[in-house]
């Protein structure tokens, strides 16, 4: 039996960083759902499909198989048997992924692939609807959040370190607007699963968050 961990929460809460750290400690597969959307987008680009042609996109979905595996500790994204890890981080692929991820059939296809992956391996998955839609029977569910002010400061420091000009007030405004969109979207809105543990990381270090979730997994595995 595989062991599944679901981490949901708003943008900037640190879900991916935490999930990757916990996965490394527990030797789980971290399922990068964003990378899966990018691999799907790469397939559409290769087929020459326009990102606004939802019908054409839907018609190709049965021909797409995406999975994630680890080799020497590094994540590898496999599209129809081909390792495309080095091809999916371009601006073109990102734009296509952003445009096509809103389509209902695309989301349904990737949820199906994510569920299949979770049946075969011990996984930790983060997103907006993992505990509510993708892995409703996950062994451990966490809703990871932080105040909009804290999330904005984290993002601000990330951008400053990269030398990017930014405004803290604008960043927080964007985060609040994104929270609203995520929580009110028609398909799979962001919300805390009824059986998820609420974890507010506003006053916690990364290590404290990782240790807390790791302890939850250890307790569940020992039960």
Q: How far apart are CA 45 and CA 31, in angstroms?
A: 23
pLDDT for residue 223: 62
Are 4 and 139 in contact, with CB atoms under 8 Å apart?
A: yes
Helix, strand or coil for residue 37?
A: helix
Q: Which two tokens stand for residue 212?
A: 């807390």
Q: How far apart are CA 134 and CA 5, in angstroms?
A: 11
Are 5 and 131 in contact, with CB atoms under 8 Å apart?
A: no
State if pTM tops 0.75. Answer: yes
Average pLDDT over residues 199-212: 95
pLDDT for residue 164: 84
pLDDT for residue 185: 78
Q: How far apart are CA 36 and CA 88, in angstroms?
A: 9
Q: How far apart are CA 216 and CA 161, in angstroms?
A: 33
Going by the DSSP 8-state scheme, the letter that residue 28 receives in this structure is P
84 alpha carbon, distance to own chain's centre: 18
CA atoms 118, 8, 106, 71: torsion sign = negative
CB atoms < 10 A from the CB of 72, how many?
5
Compute the residue count for the chain: 223
Q: Which two tokens stand for residue 58?
A: 């839907």
H helices of the chain, in order, are 15-26, 33-46, 54-60, 91-100, 104-120, 148-161, 168-184, 206-222
Average pLDDT over residues 132-137: 93
* pLDDT per residue as tens digits for the range 146-178: 999 999 999 899 888 888 888 999 999 988 988
Q: Which residue has the tokens 């691999």?
A: 39
Helix, strand or coil for residue 144?
A: strand
* pLDDT per residue as tens digits for the range 89-123: 888 998 898 889 889 999 899 999 899 989 999 99
Going by the DSSP 8-state scheme, the letter that residue 61 receives in this structure is G
């Amino acid at each position: 039996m595989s062991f599944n961990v679901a981490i949901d929460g708003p943008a900037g809460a640190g879900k991916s960083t935490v999930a990757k750290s916990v996965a490394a400690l527990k030797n789980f597969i971290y399922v990068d759902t964003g990378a899966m959307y990018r691999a799907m987008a790469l397939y559409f680009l290769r087929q020459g499909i326009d990102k606004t042609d939802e019908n054409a996109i839907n018609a190709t979905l049965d021909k797409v198989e995406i999975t994630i595996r680890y080799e020497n500790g590094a994540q590898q994204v496999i599209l129809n048997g081909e390792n495309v890890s080095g091809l999916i981080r371009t601006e073109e692929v990102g734009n296509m992924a952003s445009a096509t991820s809103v389509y209902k059939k695309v989301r349904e296809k990737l949820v199906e692939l994510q569920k299949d992956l979770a049946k075969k391996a011990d996984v930790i998955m983060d997103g907006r609807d993992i505990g509510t839609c993708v892995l409703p029977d996950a062994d451990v569910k966490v809703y990871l959040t932080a105040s909009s002010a804290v999330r904005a400061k984290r993002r601000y420091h990330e951008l400053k370190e990269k030398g990017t000009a930014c405004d803290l007030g604008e960043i927080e405004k964007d985060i609040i607007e994104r929270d609203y969109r995520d929580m009110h979207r028609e398909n799979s809105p962001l919300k805390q699963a009824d059986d998820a543990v609420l974890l507010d990381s506003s006053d916690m270090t990364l290590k404290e968050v990782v240790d807390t979730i790791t302890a939850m997994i250890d307790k569940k595995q020992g039960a």
